[in-house]
Amino acid sequence: MRALSSRPQKAAQIELHGEYVLIGMTIQSSDSLRFVQRESFEPQANEIPNTAPSWLPGDDYYTNFHVGDPFIKVDQGFARLPGAGYEAVHPEIAGIAPEDYPDITKLAILADVAPYSREYNTYRQKVGAETKDNTELRIEYEKILDRVRQTRESVIKMDDRRFTAPVEEISGTVDEASPGGITLKEYPGRRFQFSSVGLTAADM
């Protein structure tokens, strides 16, 4: 089965044989699977710097909020990132310039959109020190930290999922294959995504 690219001159072809390792399951197939690697969707030109406040992460984080349109870089960014939309949801800070938001507000936003960033850790320590003599602020601070803990605990590490978590082994006939996964004739309506793929020079 083959998926063709409209720009094959730039596509890298990968041919796999026999065993396809999927998330949570293994599919045995005597047929070979060939697919064309999709092209990267990374910008082909430098993105234009924006006016995001300095306390949001930049190019040292997974998401650079200082170039391009930051509101499309996270789901519902209009309501989660500093600006008019966020202030509409949180009227207590309406009219305050994003650069001057209270530190507890900056921490709340960073905890939501960038909980693994250097900026989040900076404000976590800063606000933690500010809450020592402020019980009300301390309660809000602990709520923010608890949300981050829950978020981190809900993420299954890929190594644990791949090598230590129980797996289900199924077999079936490949109906359709693409970089996005495989569908099997025996399991209509379900798409099984790749977890990892091993290749040798003989497979190329």
Q: What is the pLDDT of residues 54-100, one digit of tens each?
A: 999 999 998 999 999 999 999 999 999 999 999 999 999 999 999 99
Flag the least confident range among 75-89, 135-149, 155-169. 155-169
Bridge partners, residue 176, by sequence: 183
pLDDT of 203 higher than 70: no
Distance of CA 85 to the CA centre of its chain: 22
Q: How far is CA 140 from CA 86, 107, 153, in A?
A: 18, 10, 20
Closest Cα partner for 184 from 5, 28, 3?
28
- When pLDDT is averaged across residues 124-136 and rounded to a whole number, the result is 94
pLDDT of 9 higher than 80: no
pLDDT category at 5 given cuts 50, 70, 90 is very low
The SS3 assignment for 195 reads coil
Q: How far is CA 59 from CA 10, 29, 62, in A?
A: 27, 43, 8
Report if pTM > 0.85: no
